[in-house]
Chain A
Amino acid sequence: MKSPSEVAADRQGRAGATELDRLVAWLDERTGMAGVARHALRKVFPDHWSFLLGEVALFCYVVLVATGVFLTFFFAADTRPVTYDGPYAPMRGAQVSAAFDSVMRLSFEVRAGLLMRQIHHWAALVFVAAIVVHVSRIFFTGAFRRPREINWLIGVGILLLALVAGLTGYSLPDDLLSGTGLRITYSAAFAIPFLGPWLAYLIFGGEFPTAELIGRFYVFHIMLIPALMIGGITVHLLILWIQKHTQFPGGRAAETNVVGRHFWPGQVFRSTGLFFLTAAILALLGGLVQVNPVWVYGPFIPYAVSSPAQPDWYLGWLEGLLRLGPNWEPTILGVTIPSPFLPAIIVPGIIFTGFALWPFIEARLSGDHSEHHILQWPWQAPARLAIGSAALTLFVVLTIAGGNDVLAVFLHVGVEELTGVLRILAFVAPIVVGLTAYRLAVERRRQDEGEG
């Protein structure tokens, strides 16, 4: 009987042993991973284009980290005033912060700096979009049902982190537009009952605007949030791996099996191709489509404001909520309830809580607590479809409201009238769309049952 090392030596010494043989043997002797690795490479993944949406988000994150690391080498998280004397003539001689100055240098003097900056910003925009489309797919097909509730919660957490990463990231250049956004964020925090101003002071380091702000947001943006996100993404993928992917009904698919292709080589190649294609689109956008031109907005000045001022797309609905909010500000028994309390604290709080707890809410309402690995088509669950479409409709109306000033100019109507219409639409449109979706789904389900 030969010892394992002698067997391995035989394998390596065998005539015709390739480099790969030797590498695998070398690794296996030290880790014993050959069996596990083979099992992993043979893992079966179902095919459907919609299963790639989450991958697009993941690949955007990779691009974000890569371009972000490049940007950190040039960015100065410093609010001390300097005089701009770079090549951008309209701003020469202006008093700007060192942070703004470093972003100007990145954009105009560092070779490939503007490309990296714009790819980074575009990747952030597409990242959140991919997450939103991915989570919509998960929602409408019921992929969050038992046993996948944990991954739903982690996914919601990653989405929230992505929103904060976006806000802290586009605030770093210390320009007038993002400064306006920070001022609104700071003020919205004031509406939190009693603790509001104190929390705002903790986060911002004092009364807005503070000298610490940019340095602090830099730490949030490049350290705390990405670290939490990497943790979240890792567990998200690990659970996906352990639970095995869901699949659509039809063909040989059953609750007890997985029908698809092996992880290696097919799925790995496909995903690698998708990564390069995602990166290619981001490179094209970053090279050709201007985004966040801070030299147009100018540096942050506390008593000036940029107009029109719209945030990046994924925060537009919160801005819309603030714009549509009522002007109620009662003082009861010496306690003032600030007017942003309802639109900035209560409504987003309800929306995010309902969103995060949806798998549990649905299980409670439907009484369905059993395990599901076969997905549903959206019309197979009419009530869920109705609620999801109503929520997306509300998101669209609120996002439009976040640009009501721009839209009013475009439509040649008064912003007052438009706001009135949007206030009504925010209630009516989701209900109409939800009920319509419900009716259509019920109809479709009846047809399917008739055929079956």
Chain B
Amino acid sequence: MSEQRVRQPSTRSRMELVVAALFGITALCGVGLLVVYILGGQTQVEGILLAIALGSLGIGVVIWAQDLMITPVVVEERGSPASAPDAAEELEATIEEEEGFTRRRLLVGMLLAAFAGLAAALAVPALSLGPAPGRELFTTGWRSGKRLVDASGTPIRAADIAVDGIVTVFPDGDAGSADSQTLLIRVPPELLKLDPSRAAWAPEGYVAYSKICTHAGCPVGLYRAAERMLICPCHQSTFDVLTGAKPVFGPAGRPLPQLPIHLDPDGTFVADGDFPEPVGPSFWNMTS
């Protein structure tokens, strides 16, 4: 640490003028800010004026401290933060100063138990903050017989989706719902390699998967039609549409749940039930 340089008197008096001028700039900028505000305000000009006002003041105060003030370097004894040994003992004695009990340990123990019980009791109202998840995590708005509609509630027609086309669908009456959001994708049916038990869930190559990523719950918003891969834009989990949305890259650990659907004679789609597994991020007791 260097000792403070003491300025020549002529330099000091010049410094005083500099500091005074800097404080003057702050005052002027304050007025300027008011004028800008009255004229309707302008974010950039406000920011610049405020910055100059604060900056001039700051520089002025620092110059004052560094160049005008005599602030010698001094040495102070430190001493230990701890009290003298007997002070700590006296404190302990004072804390424990109490007589006339024969079952002191019992009382202290029960007092602690009482506090613990009271703390638990006081924490109970906090449970009102949220319902227990219960079965809600295992179900969505999909039911057998629910028609597939788009975000505006209009039924989806098979003819409206070109091969390799994709659309976000919802159960009729629940358009825009967060946990029922589903992707309906049309692929050439001969390419589909679904589990035999689910082959009927994809009529004419139309296949529906939950849109909620099984990793961290983001909507799986990207579709690479050439490779028939669904990609979650959040963490790049990639799901193979042809093989039942199995994860092929990224951190997701399980496929997007598939929605059982059939094609109605009128050209719209109808669900044959809810997703067979919970949608969205996995949790420890999800198989129970």
A283 to B51: give the CA distance in the assembly, Å.
5
A280 to B133: give the CA distance in the assembly, Å.
48
B residues in contact with A281, CB < 8 Å? 51
Q: Tell me how far the C-beta of A333 lies from the nearest C-beta in chain B, rounded to whole angstroms.
A: 10
Contact B78 A304 (CB under 8 A): no
Q: Tell me how far the C-beta of A191 lies from the nearest C-beta in chain B, rounded to whole angstroms.
A: 7
Q: Check: A262 CB closer than 8 A to any chain B CB.
A: yes
Q: Check: B118 CB closer than 8 A to any chain A CB.
A: no
- Select A338's contact among B43, B81, B284, beta carbons within 8 Å: B284
Q: Check: B59 CB closer than 8 A to any chain A CB.
A: yes
A262 to B216: give the CA distance in the assembly, Å.
54
A404 to B251: give the CA distance in the assembly, Å.
13
Q: Tell me how far the C-beta of A31 lies from the nearest C-beta in chain B, rounded to whole angstroms.
A: 25
- Select B61's contact among A114, A272, A304, beta carbons within 8 Å: A272
- Select A187's contact among B57, B249, B281, beta carbons within 8 Å: B281
Q: How many residues of B contact A (CB 8 A)?
A: 83
Q: Which of A22-51 contact B (CB under 8 A)?
A: 43-44, 46-48
Contact A197 B133 (CB under 8 A): yes
Contact A322 B50 (CB under 8 A): no
Q: Check: A88 CB closer than 8 A to any chain B CB.
A: no
Q: Check: B265 CB closer than 8 A to any chain A CB.
A: no
0/1 interface trace, chain A 325-337, chain B, CB 8 Å (1 if under): 1111101001111
Please, which residue of chain B has its CB at the minimum distance from the CB of A309? B234
Q: How many residues of A contact B (CB 8 A)?
A: 102
Contact A259 B73 (CB under 8 A): yes
Contact A302 B178 (CB under 8 A): yes
B residues in contact with A304, CB < 8 Å? 219, 221
Q: Check: A16 CB closer than 8 A to any chain B CB.
A: no
Contact B221 A307 (CB under 8 A): yes
Question: Do A340 and B44 form a contact, CB below 8 Å, given A269-B64, A275-B58, A277-B59?
Answer: no
Q: Tell me how far the C-beta of B5 lies from the nearest C-beta in chain A, rounded to whole angstroms.
A: 14
Q: Tell me how far the C-beta of B90 lies from the nearest C-beta in chain A, rounded to whole angstroms.
A: 20
Contact A259 B54 (CB under 8 A): no
0/1 interface trace, chain B 245-288, chain A, CB 8 Å (1 if under): 00101111110000000000000000000000000111111111
Q: Check: A157 CB closer than 8 A to any chain B CB.
A: no
B residues in contact with A11, CB < 8 Å? none
Contact A305 B284 (CB under 8 A): no
**A contact residues vs B (CB 8 Å cutoff):** 43-44, 46-48, 111-112, 114-115, 118-119, 147, 180, 183-184, 186-188, 190-191, 193-194, 196-198, 201-209, 216, 242-244, 250-252, 255-262, 265-266, 269-270, 272-281, 283-288, 301-309, 322-329, 331, 334-340, 343, 371, 373, 404-405, 415-416, 419
Q: What are 17 A-B residue pairs whose CB atoms fall within 8 Å in the complex? A: A187-B215, A190-B283, A197-B137, A198-B132, A202-B130, A207-B133, A262-B74, A273-B59, A276-B61, A279-B58, A287-B44, A302-B181, A322-B235, A323-B250, A325-B251, A327-B250, A336-B283
